[in-house]
Structure 1
Amino acid sequence: MSNDRASDASYRAALSSDELRCIDAWWRACNYLSVGMIYLRDNPLLRERLPELRLRFVNVVDLFRMQPVTEHPHGSTEREFDSLFTVDKPVIFNFHGYPWLIHKLAYRFRNHENLHVRGYTEKGNINTPLELAILNKVDRFNLVLDVLDRVPRLQGRTAHLRDDMRNSIILNMNYAHEHGTDSPEISEWVWPY
């Protein structure tokens, strides 16, 4: 047995079954959260209930694009950043890491005050993927609530949608607590295209 295999085996032996379940839950959650931005882009709740609302979906693949080109060769110019994230509109950035990282990268850009980053806030433990997302407020329901809070022209006209989102959070959390898994509507969801 090579040293690598021996160290792998001893490392695996050092982890308890609870620790392995926790690692597995976080791994599944990271995979789940990485598609979290899709919830806003293709969210039928927003599309059906607020058809006049225009959303821009930006998929940031290279995080270095979130900082100035003077700081990193992959960085963005002020013009590039503004063309993606606007100069005066609220931006909800759903991130599967720590929110402070995005703020730290983008703080020199003009619209950084309108950048509202949602991400991992160390909430949850061994949960279902949706429970973990809800606890960290990066789930589809909390993202809709965030949009409703951030778009001024929606203020005062979205009470029913707000109630529906809050009720969906409660229903999904209750389902997960009762069954130990996410509801089929969540766990069996597939990209519609």
Structure 2
Amino acid sequence: MSSPAPTPEETVPFPLSGGETLLAAGRRQSRGAAAVVRLGAGSRRLVLLEGRETLRLFGAVGDLALCAGALGRWCRGEAARLLPPHVRELALAHGFLPPRVSVRDQRSRWGSCSRPSAAVTAAQPGHIHLNWRALLLERPLLDHLCRHELCHLRRMDHSAAYRAELARLSPDWAMLERGLSRAWRELPWWALPPDSPGA
């Protein structure tokens, strides 16, 4: 787990968007940066500025709850923009009907899946819910997570038949499942769910 302080700087990887973002706390810089999140009021005011490859926190940077809230809000927006098309692209590549995809703030899981009670149809292929924190996953782990949930569109259990389907799409599934568990334990301080140890 990263140390809980946004100073002086830390690098946050965002593999799906193709790079890293420098997270820094400091003076407000207007050139090339846009205020994308504002939280609090008065002396407890925090502004998150987004530059080309930088997120800069300005204001009450010592208030870790405000910092976590601002970073989480920005990341949820990015996740809502980037994760649904990624899932749909993988669905088509593996012969699944493109599902509905939503991004949530799940407290203890990377994702979940639901489907209509009747058989899966072209009109209602199912619904995948991904945790916004999945945006922080390395690509192999993110792709495996998506495949894991796509397989649930066909089998809503973890039976041997489900695992066989998953192994077909994600041959290293057991290792990748362990990687997802490890990644959850190693979330940055600002991405920890509020009720997690260390949050």
TM-score scaled by length of structure 1: 0.38
TM-score scaled by length of structure 2: 0.37
Name the structure where strand makes up a greater proportion of residues.
2
Name the structure where helix makes up a greater proportion of residues.
1
**Bigger Rg, which one:** 1
